[in-house]
Amino acid sequence: MRIQISVAAMLLSLSAVSQAAMFEPVPEPTIAPQDQAKVELGKMLWFDPRLSKSGFISCNSCHNLSTGGVDNLKTSVGHGWQQGPINSPTVLNAEKQIAQFWDGRAANLEEQAGGPIANPKEMASTHELAVQVIDSIPGYKPYFKKAFGTDKVTIKEITDALAAFEKTLTTPNSPFDRYLKGDKAALTPQQIKGFELFKTSGCTICHNGPLLGGSSYQKLGVVKPYQTTNTAQGRIEITKKDQDRMTFKVPQLRNIELTYPYFHDGEAKTLEDAVRIMGEVQLGKTYTPEQLADIVAWMKSLTGDQPKIVLPILPPNGKNTPQFDPWKKD
């Protein structure tokens, strides 16, 4: 009961915030012209499976830019076909978030990029091996030289270049963005109805700002406990504070139509499921089928223009490049 009062109070305080501040068009990339060489190098590294121990998994394997920057799996396939621990969040528009990963353990994209490379359940390499591999490829040298002024490869340069590329992965010009900018015909009447319901329901407490999320950590299961078999405990793993148990970074809603399945455990298969469950466990609301359909219709207006990526051509191994063997035992 106390919780519901608190939600009401927050709604009241939010009503003072103008719609313009609460909802903003998706931000433009923040790449300085002099960083264009980093972007180009980062794109190559993004698609390079040699950053993984197997030589088979690239960043794009789990954050597939053909499919909304995710793999559309409940949890990802890692080295040796291991089952990943958590749902892969989208890389699209990922920069402007409070932090990276579901539990916010990386402050920014640069810090995030080093994680999966060395995670034994993901790409299963090490920073040392990744640097050794990339450093051994002669064709990469001019790209590092152009991006960083030196062709000495370090993990910092690798992750900086990856982050520079990721920062370009924004999705402007969604129907919702056009609507926010004044084109009232950009949304259908049903989508406008869904949007109004989204706002008056309290969804905007967590899903606000340019990404409609990504700006705060919130407990999953505010009104009613969230049931899951997934063992992730959220932010407590970082802060070690008991109040952060089951507290996760609020996922962004941008391109949500493409980034199924939903939640940190990937248990919600459809947008209808996701909205229904969120209503129940976060807001204590049971939406009618019509209300669900309206909100979902609006959510589909959040799909922006996807990045136009020309597939990079990767330089071949050099004579000192370590051999890849996906089945090699340590």
Catalytically active residues, by annotation: 122
The answer for residues whose C-beta is within 8 angstroms of residue 243's C-beta and 6 or more apart is: none
Q: Is 1 annotated as a binding residue?
A: no
Q: How far apart are the first and last CA of the chain?
A: 55
Assess 269 for contact with a second copy (CB under 8 A): yes
Task: Return the range that interacts with a second copy (CB under 8 A); candidates 27-35, 42-50, 128-136, 173-181.
Answer: 42-50
Q: Is 264 annotated as a binding residue?
A: no
Q: Is 203 annotated as a binding residue?
A: yes
Assess 49 for contact with a second copy (CB under 8 A): yes
CA-wise closest residue to 195 among 211, 171, 179: 179
Name the one residue in this structure whose structure tokens are 């996807």.
Answer: 306
Residue among 65, 163, 232, 299 that touches a second copy (CB under 8 A): 65
The residue (of 64 and 154) whose beta carbon lies closer to a second copy is 64
The residue (of 154 and 306) whose beta carbon lies closer to a second copy is 306
Assess 314 for contact with a second copy (CB under 8 A): yes
Assess 48 for contact with a second copy (CB under 8 A): yes
Integer Cα distance of 77 and 65 in angstroms: 16
β-pairing, 82-83 vs 77-78, is antiparallel
Assess 323 for contact with a second copy (CB under 8 A): yes
Integer Cα distance of 80 and 69 in angstroms: 22
CA-wise closest residue to 64 among 29, 89, 100: 89
The answer for residues whose C-beta is within 8 angstroms of residue 157's C-beta and 6 or more apart is: 144, 147, 148
Contact map string, positions 247 to 266, toward a second copy, x by CB under 8 A: ----------xx-x------
State in angstroms the smallest separation of the CB of 273 from a second copy. Answer: 11
Integer Cα distance of 181 and 244 in angstroms: 37
State in angstroms the smallest separation of the CB of 71 from a second copy. Answer: 7
Task: Return the range that interacts with a second copy (CB under 8 A); candidates 45-53, 85-93, 124-132, 231-239.
Answer: 45-53
Give the Cβ contact number of residue 219 at 10 Å: 17
The answer for residues whose C-beta is within 8 angstroms of residue 287's C-beta and 6 or more apart is: 275, 276, 279, 295
Q: Is 63 annotated as a binding residue?
A: yes
- Annotated binding residues for heme c, written as ranges, equal 59, 62-63, 79, 203, 206-207, 278
Applying CB under 8 A, which residues contact a second copy?
Answer: 47-49, 54-56, 61, 64-68, 71-74, 77, 80-81, 83, 257-258, 260, 269-270, 306, 308-314, 316-317, 319, 323-327
